[in-house]
Amino acid sequence: MWDRFKRLLKKEENTEDTHFEEPEEDVLGSITYFFKSSDDNTYLDIHLNDFEEETLNKFAKIVSGLSSIRFQLETLQMIKGCFEETEDEDIFNDIVLKMISHTEEEAIAVEKINKESKVREDQPWIKPSDMIK
């Protein structure tokens, strides 16, 4: 499924096989999934401009926001492989910790919404006093 991990912090010139143009200067990072008519593979294009704290935090937020756990895990495996190749495993661990933090924040927000919803469920939609009117 994931045959190609196109770039991670690619500072050298684009190769002829690059699918996308270089992002605008103010874009610090991106994750792009795409497919081609020539095969059934799903491709992943990752761009990180730098390893600054704010950049990694925003990148981790994107990864934690992937709605499919399958995509999230596959993406993490590919990111891990790339950082292992560049011997920057500490940066990968930092991304994972930030991602977990974002996921926990979102889980707390969903839990709060569920609690509020249950409180509303306990109340009747039509109050008995409304029936008498």
Which run of H or of E encompasses 4? strand 2-5
pLDDT band at 58 (very low <50, low <70, confident <90, very high): very high
Question: Residue 79: beta bridge partners?
Answer: none
User: Alpha carbon of 102 to those of 15, 36, 61, 124: distances in Å?
Assistant: 34, 32, 6, 35
- pLDDT given for residue 53 in this prediction: 93
Nearest to 26 by CA among 61, 2, 58: 58
pTM (two decimals): 0.60
Residue pLDDT, tens place only, 87-127: 888 999 999 999 899 889 888 988 898 888 877 766 766 76
- pLDDT given for residue 121 in this prediction: 67
DSSP designation for 127: -
- pLDDT given for residue 124 in this prediction: 67
Q: Domain spans of the chain?
A: 2-122
Tokens standing for residue 96? 């994972």
